[in-house]
Amino acid sequence: MLRTFSRAVSSAVRVSTTSMSSTPALHPLTRSVLYSPNSGTTRPFTRSLWMMSSNGAASGYRPKLFSSKGRSPVSCECVSLHTEGDKAFGDFLSDEMKEEKKVQKSKTVPKMSGGWELEQNGTEAKLIRKLSGEKVTVTFNINNSVPPNFEEEAEQVQGQKSAESEPDVVSTPNFVVEVTKPAAKHSLVFDCHYPEDEVSHGEGEEESDIFSIRQVSFQPEGDGEWKETSYTLNTDALDWALYDHLMDFLADRGVDNTFADELMELSTAMEHQEYIKFLDDLSGFIKCN
């Protein structure tokens, strides 16, 4: 399977870039987490052709598709620059899209149980549920929600990688839960995430919460920015009895382990859809379609 697309782009255009974007606190923050082998919507964790036959990104090696001679621009009706490297890049993208569509479970995202309504705006999504006058809104963003797999990179460098041992891509986004009461002046907001040591459980292990509360605060209803002037309770040093009551408060409103599992499946399907769409848009840009 071909799944480390960022390295594939590096090999074709020979440019290595890194980027980091900051996200408002009411929007889920990025995190690093291991994969979950039990998800029903996972797919093989590979996004690179040349990684299968080279020493990998860590070695600094970049394969030469063409020699420096004869790299002449190709004319086009769109009056844009097109090189032999662009043609190879376009061919690679076509192959990558075919492989990704083969492993795509469905062209539609799975539905959440419990009466949650989904609102999607690009990479951001909201799940809304109304219960006895209360409104519960869960917001998450799929950007940067798929962590790198460093074990896979080490195996590729050592030449020990096998197709059967490929881990699965799982999107585990941070998410924000906003609980609004009709008579309340502010919403109670929970900043939640998936701790990497709780995402998957082995056989015989005691089941625990697969998500955790990181911060709690009162915020203006529907405000997309976390107000720093509002007191924020950090749970790192919080009394466990109070923390358990906060988790029970969320569970009573439908945000429990079942919800967290389904959220991972939904986010994984959304991320895969957006990845394929990005490949298609990138292919059209490179080929000037």
Enter the pTM of the model: 0.70
Residue 129 has φ and ψ, to the nearest 5°, of: -140, 135
Residue 166 pLDDT class (50, 70, 90 cuts): low
Q: What is the pLDDT of residues 77-123, one digit of tens each?
A: 667 788 999 999 999 999 999 999 998 888 889 999 999 999 999 99
Residue 162: pLDDT band (50, 70, 90) is low
Most confident range, picked from 81-95, 141-155, 186-200, 258-272: 258-272
CATH of 102-145+168-197+208-280, one of 1.10.3720.10, 3.40.50.300, 3.30.300.30, 3.10.280.10: 3.10.280.10
Domain extent listing, the chain: 102-145+168-197+208-280
More confident residue, 224 or 188: 188
What's the pLDDT at 54? Answer: 40
pLDDT for 106 equals 82
